[in-house]
Structure 1
Amino acid sequence: MTTVKEQQVIQTEFKERMDEDELLNCMRCGFCLPTCPTYIESGFKEEHSPRGRIALMKAVVDGIIEPDEEVERSLDLCLGCRACEPVCPSGVNYGHLLEEARDIIHQNKKHSIPVKFVRNAVFNGLFPHHDRMRMATGLLGFYQRSGLQTLTRKTGFMKLLPDNLSSMEKVLPQVPTMKAMKNRPDYLAPLGTQKKRVAFFSGCLMDTMFLETNNSTTKLLQLAGCEIVIPKNQACCGALHGHSGEKASAKDLAKRNIQAFEELNVDFIITNAGGCGAFLVDYDHLLKDDDDWKDRAKAFTEKIKDISQILYELDFYKNQPLELPHQVITYQDSCHLRNVQKTSSAPRVLLQAIKGVEYREMKDADRCCGSAGIYNIVESEMSMQILDYKMTQTKATHATTIVTANPGCLLQMKLGIEREGLSDKMRAVHIVDFLLEAVGEND
């Protein structure tokens, strides 16, 4: 709960920092409303729509309302999926407004001691440090391989947790060993004729918990004719920080990554996580007010490209035989890959090129699945409502495989499968792992 003094400081900073021209760009036309999951799932409450949230921000700037708990609640309930942006006739950069507003609020309110401890541990103590990420993942690996996981399930301990958390524990991937996480390459030669020289953004969760997906990514790049450089000094992308009101930390991570990649002389910087890629693409906005970094940030963002896009551009699906046993598949868009990186057709072209696969488009495949970073943990009720709708559309396709392009989406769809009791009939898989399966059938 914010005090009167905190509200006064927040209101002052809203006036100083919020982009009033951007706020005024919203014409209140309502084109964003049908695209907003929280607006729909809240029963069409205006304050939970992009238009309504912008109106609240503008009212705080104008001093009409105070930045109280209701304003903060409205902003916190937003997924940040940015589905409102592509349909906005005025081109309002809603995501930038949301991140700025959240940063102002969280940096100027006094959090409780437990919340402050958790935020500091996660944002400052864990994600910026690769060695600590490996250690945390290693502990999870110990839990999975030591028999503790089996024991906690047999004793019924998991039933003490909320349903969504106990289900999440079931869908976590089998994590790699500490040795595998430490022995990472920094250079990989192309397999065959070289077509491009690229750098790979390996990420933090992707290079620990989802290590095999990173390995699949680099293998596909090699097969596509890419020479790959993987800088050791790269850092977390900063998306979790930027979306959660920790903008200063996000800027520090951005600068570390720009430094790590800018002297590599590569054609592109490749990502395989929609959320990470979208935040990397926004580095030029993040650092726009920093004269020492804004041009360097712009040069960095111009090289960001998703793995599916470069595979498409290099005709991977034409040059590489792709085949799998017959199965029906569908594709769940990563919100940030589609809405920010503008990549939606390339994944579909690649998937439909696989022999033996019957592709069926899901209704509202572009609607958020409800993962949104840690949203499915901190806003569990709304997240599960959104997931239930997504699973209804998924089941209508009769697909046995759901393909997606972001680790959060992947875990959320696995959670949906688990909640629906379909684990023996349906699976969720990252697109690069699925494509490598299709390559393997022809080896």
Structure 2
Amino acid sequence: MNCTRCGFCLPSCPTYIQTGGNEASSPRGRIALMKAVADGKKEPDEEVEAQLNECLGCRACEPACPSGVNYGHILEQARAVIQEHKRYSVPVRVLRKTVFQWLFLDRRRMETVHRMRWMYEKTPVQKLMQKSGAFRLLPGEAALMERIMPEAAPPKQALRPPVLAVRQQQPLKKVVFFDGCLMSTMFTETNQNTLYLLEKSGCEVVVPDTQQCCGALHAHAGEADGAKKLAKTNIEAFEQIEADFIVTNAGGCGAGLKEYPFLLKEEPEWCERAKVFSEKVGDISTLLAELELPPMKLDAELVTYQPSCHLENVMKEKGNVEALLRRIEGVTYAAMPDKEQCCGSAGIYNLVQPRMAMKILDKKMADVRHVQASVIVTSNPGCLLQMKAGIEREGLADSVKAVHIVDLAAEALKQAESGVTT
């Protein structure tokens, strides 16, 4: 009801732009569709579902809205309602149950899948699959995504660190690290570099061994029950530890954790506990901006930054990654045009909406070419994979690379300490 249909959200919406100004593909249009369903003027038919599914959920419309419409909350509620009444085919039901009710509800299962992936890469199976062209038979951009996936870390390296991961005699801050399900398995090196940077900045770090997935993917997909279950598990795991800060290194996960009070709003006891929890959550870039890292140095590089939508639009943490980049000797920072526009990753959006995701990515890569940067920095794993996909699609692998800000900062710190640049 707060939406006054002023249209300030339109220029901020990637799907509105890519569809050439289709009103139904804008936040204002989608709110009108949802309101029509709520008022009984329209059935929640395939048209409504298609428009909600086409939305990236980037929430760039929220900072642009003068009326303070919390579009992200409305979208997730609408998707949850659709899920309650949606009748999927048997294969889709099996897939959704496998992903949302089995895999992401238990970290041990994620670790098992990681070990299977590592074995797949270390045996001839991967090369045989790639040479056979089997991946081209999969829908969307699955073949492209398979090529740019980071190499699986050996299972022993992917083990969760000890609960007291970093000990300090006189810590500047005591922080708890949310290490994430995908970050701890698919991006093991980034998590290890996170602990390294926290140690070098004087933090004592605890990693709760009972934490689970943040639940963001469940919430975005309308799987509210699964998201709530994971939220409660994480709140219980973290509230047992006295700490100054709950640190994340993935914008999507951080936003998911920040949203726990809304997710549990109908359960007063849990909602209050969620508020205490969420107030401590922040991105590592924000924490590092508060603390003094030792000097960092790299060979001369022109670097640009693709922000995480959820880091900026939900967590409201802006400018800290750029500030960190400017502290690295040898780095020249160039702002990407329209950097606040989503890259098209949006969780699993680039898998389920590949056509729109690639159109958005093509525009983003044109912006990368414009700044002529040799390094694209990101602050979220999905964004990192999406930018790597863009580099691959554009044939720029020999001249451009995409890295997580944590990995770049850790490399710069290690090079400064050793006195050697590469």
> Which TM-score applies when normalising by structure 2?
0.97
Q: Kindly provide the CA deviation profile for residues 88-139 of structure 1, in whole angstroms up to 9, marking residues without a partner as x.
A: 1011100000000000001112111111110000001101111110111111
User: 8 Å contact 2:62–2:313 — kept in the other structure?
Assistant: yes
Q: Kindly provide the CA deviation profile for residues 278-317 of structure 1, in whole angstroms up to 9, marking residues without a partner as x.
A: 010010111111022111010000000100000001133x
User: 8 Å contact 1:237–1:276 — kept in the other structure?
Assistant: yes
Cα shift at 1:163: 6.7
Alignment-derived partner of residue 342 in structure 1: 316
Q: Partner of 1:180: helix, strand, or coil?
A: coil
Cα shift at 1:359: 0.8
* Structure 2 Cα separation of the partners of residues 299 and 193 of structure 1: 26
Cα shift at 1:324: 0.1
Alignment-derived partner of residue 373 in structure 2: 399
Cα shift at 1:60: 1.0
Q: Partner of 1:442: helix, strand, or coil?
A: helix
Which of 409, 414, 419 is 1:440 aligned to? 414
The answer as to 2:164 corresponding to 1:187 is yes
Cα shift at 1:40: 0.7
Computed over aligned residues only, the root mean square deviation of the Cα atoms, in angstroms, reads: 1.2
Alignment-derived partner of residue 190 in structure 2: 213
The answer as to 2:196 corresponding to 1:222 is no
Matches within 5 A, 1:254-333: 254-316=231-293, 320-333=294-307
Cα shift at 1:149: 2.0
User: 8 Å contact 1:141–1:175 — kept in the other structure?
Assistant: yes
The code of the aligned residue for 1:371 comes to S
Which of 358, 365, 373 is 1:384 aligned to? 358
- Higher deviation after alignment, 334-343 or 192-201: 192-201
What runs of 5+ residues in structure 2 fail to find an aligned partner?
A: 418-422
Q: Partner of 2:397: helix, strand, or coil?
A: coil
* Structure 1 Cα separation of the partners of residues 365 and 228 of structure 2: 36
* Structure 1 Cα separation of the partners of residues 413 and 167 of structure 2: 16
Cα shift at 1:215: 0.6
Alignment-derived partner of residue 174 in structure 1: 151
> Which TM-score applies when normalising by structure 1?
0.92
Matches within 5 A, 1:39-438: 39-161=16-138, 164-182=141-159, 184-190=161-167, 193-316=170-293, 320-438=294-412
Q: Kindly provide the CA deviation profile for residues 147-168 of structure 1, in whole angstroms up to 9, marking residues without a partner as x.
A: 3222333344444445722111
The code of the aligned residue for 2:235 comes to I
User: 8 Å contact 1:192–1:225 — kept in the other structure?
Assistant: no
* Structure 1 Cα separation of the partners of residues 86 and 79 of structure 2: 11
Cα shift at 1:406: 0.3
* Structure 2 Cα separation of the partners of residues 403 and 223 of structure 1: 21
Q: How many residues align?
A: 417
Cα shift at 1:65: 1.4
Q: Which runs of 4+ in 1 moved over 6 A?
A: none
* Structure 1 Cα separation of the partners of residues 392 and 141 of structure 2: 10
Q: Partner of 1:403: helix, strand, or coil?
A: strand
User: 8 Å contact 2:166–2:195 — kept in the other structure?
Assistant: no
Q: Partner of 1:27: helix, strand, or coil?
A: coil
User: 8 Å contact 1:181–1:207 — kept in the other structure?
Assistant: yes
The code of the aligned residue for 2:375 comes to T
Q: Kindly provide the CA deviation profile for residues 339-367 of structure 1, in whole angstroms up to 9, marking residues without a partner as x.
A: 01111201000001111111100001111
User: 8 Å contact 1:190–1:221 — kept in the other structure?
Assistant: no
Distance 1:84 1:216, change over 3 A: same
Q: Kindly provide the CA deviation profile for residues 154-190 of structure 1, in whole angstroms up to 9, marking residues without a partner as x.
A: 3444444457221111110011122222352211335
